[in-house]
Amino acid sequence: MTTITHLPLLLFFTLTLSIHAKIHLNTGDHHALLTILKHLGVFGDLRPPENPCSITGISCERRTLNGSDTLRVTRIVFETRRLTGFLSPAIGQLSKLKELSLNDNYLNDRIPPELGNCRKIEIINFGNNKFSGEVPAEVSYLLRLRILDLSSNEFTGELGFLKHFPNLEKLALENNMFTGKVPVSLRLFRNLRLFNISGNSLLEGELPELNRLESPVIESKKSKYKRVPKRYVFAESTNPNGNNDSGPGKTEAPAPAPVEAPSKKHKKRNRKKIMGWVLGFFAGSFAGILSIIIFSVLIKLFLIAVKYGGNQSGPTIFSPSIKAEELKFLEDDNEVAALQVIGRGGCGLVYKTDIPNEKIKTIAIKMIIQPPKDAGELTAEDTKMLNKKMRQIRSEIQTVGQIRHRNLLALLAHVSRPTCHYLVYEFMKNGSLQDILEQVKSGTRELEWLVRHNIAIGVASGLEYLHMSHTPRIVHRDLKPANILLDDDMEARIADFGLAKSIPGGDTHMTSSNVAGTLGYIAPEYHQTLKFTDKCDIYSFGVLLGVLVMGKLPSDEFFQHTSEVNLVKWMRKVMTSDNPKEAIDQSLLGNGYETQMLLVLKIACFCTLDDPKERPNSKDCRCMLAQIEH
């Protein structure tokens, strides 16, 4: 089934066009769409929005008529929405509609004949609903159809609507109650690649012989059936006992279409394949076990080197911008104690100092303390804390110690000492985004909207590199304003990769033993299942966008006095209210960018959707933000 993988991006582009060019939705489409959505049960008891094109699942595109531009509805995609209504006859008024996907809901009643007026439609997917009655003959007017999926419903009647679909590629009619014969017109569907009519026990007669142009029909010696062209994936009608109901005698035949019995040569070839698979499995298993053993030994050697080898090997340099000689002072505890302290974290202090370097004049040094005890003297709590700190060091080295991007805070060097470790970074003059937002709230500093927007794009670019450009993918797991540092030009740098994890290319997710991150920024599915993906970072990014526009942190007492209690739910409520500008930071109102700020809040709502599959990826986020014109 064809799916729209970049729906939020398409919707956002449409919104941008409608705002900047003052293009409005066609009046006829507007009224028809509201009627359709009402009967489908999309709104429930909620009031429909003024601009239906802003609804997730609706796509509108610009069209020019008589020299003037207008928006027309081109796609309605409401998959797995638990809708319980029916399809309104008003659907026939959407003459520019290209896709209507309502699969995996609880929709009922008949398909309205007016659907035949949507002559430009290419995709109809009503699979897995409760539609009933006969399919109207008017469906045969839709000559542009590429996909017609009516599977798993309660349709009855004959297949007379299957007349002439020259562009049809997929026809899914399985698991219904169709009757009569499969029409011979099916052989004229020259582009058909997938046809499934299984699960229709009331169909009778033989299946029509399909187009032979691409491969010859070969008669099987043991069956009266014929092989169909290779391009078809053909499933015949079967009953639960596995018998074909295509004739009065119910001759046995498998589904999909039966093929020629394998020869002895083929059997011998299959045996060789099986032997190859078995040998490959054992060889692969042996290699995998050996790799795990070698990897474990290397990890232990690395930890030993990090813990005890500091004085012998000196600093480990990760960037040509700094030299080992410039970090000699870190070997003297008195010199370190004299440095300026700029922060205090759970693992230790953060210092700042100048160095005689042309490229990097000022560095920040994070000190991670480890207990000055022998292994036998360590308590369970000491061991737990030491392991946590060592994991943080390893995570930093494996991520920002090895990669470079303008929106990631690079690790310059690692220095190991008997009682601590130093992680060296370039100093960020403007501190963290959270520090600046707190200064703005107290009235001691301003943060203009254009700067906030640029920060958002910078963070999205950094995430795009981590999620899509780097192999393996890296999930930050603790994206928040306190971990967004700002350089001299107020460019964003994602920092603190102590909780970051890599996801191997073949894996869809990773599982952790406990939840890592900061309350208010943690995706709900991670909190519930302990499984994380890059979409968890997208959720955190959505919260971050909300913070940039609203000027409020999830931990602010403001949300404790609302019925929603948290930032995301409050943001959703205000964005669907009559006055969405209520969500904007009061210090930004009146700057002329209210429209652009509301667009960013819409992106924030996309990023914080409860279903991670519906959230945009990091590239989509960057593109949507970059499309906002000022």
Catalytic positions: 478
Q: How many whole angstroms separate alpha carbon 583 and alpha carbon 586?
A: 9
Apex CA 217: angle with CA 215 and CA 220, to 5°?
135
Q: How many whole angstroms separate alpha carbon 333 and alpha carbon 3?
A: 61
In degrees rounded to 5, what are phi and psi of residue 575?
Answer: -70, -20
8 Å CB contact between 127 and 104: yes
The enclosing H or E element of 382 equals helix 380-398
- DSSP class of residue 412 equals E
8 Å CB contact between 363 and 411: no
Measuring CA to CA, which residue among 199, 197, 156, 191 is closest to residue 177? 156
Apex CA 84: angle with CA 81 and CA 87, to 5°?
95
Question: Furthest-apart CA pair in the chain: how many Å?
Answer: 97
8 Å CB contact between 227 and 259: yes
CA dihedral 131, 132, 134, 137 (to 10 degrees): -20
Q: How many whole angstroms separate alpha carbon 569 and alpha carbon 564?
A: 6
Residue appearing with tokens 């946590």: 388
Can you state the percent helix, strand and coil of the chain, rounding each to 5?
40, 15, 45
What are the distances in angstroms from CA 408 to CA 361, 402, 456, 463, 517?
19, 11, 13, 9, 18
**Concatenated DSSP letters of 224-288:** S-BPPPTT-EEE--B-TTS-B-SSTT-----SS---PPPPHHHHHHHHHHHHHHHHHHHHHHHHH
8 Å CB contact between 426 and 420: no
Strands of 476-579 (E only): list them.
484-486, 492-494, 501-503, 510-511, 531-532
Residue appearing with tokens 């993906």: 533
- DSSP class of residue 349 equals E
8 Å CB contact between 90 and 107: no
**Lookup: tokens for 388:** 């946590």
What are the distances in angstroms from CA 176 to CA 93, 151, 544?
28, 7, 48
Q: Mapping DSSP to helix (H, G, I), strand (E, B) and coil, where does residue 361 land?
A: coil
* Angle, helix 594-607 to helix 534-550, in steps of 10 degrees: 150
Question: Which residues are CB-neighbours of 623 under 8 A, at least 6 positions away?
Answer: 9
In degrees rounded to 5, what are phi and psi of residue 125?
Answer: -130, 105
- DSSP class of residue 292 equals H
Question: Which residues are CB-neighbours of 228 under 8 A, at least 6 positions away?
Answer: 210, 217, 234, 257
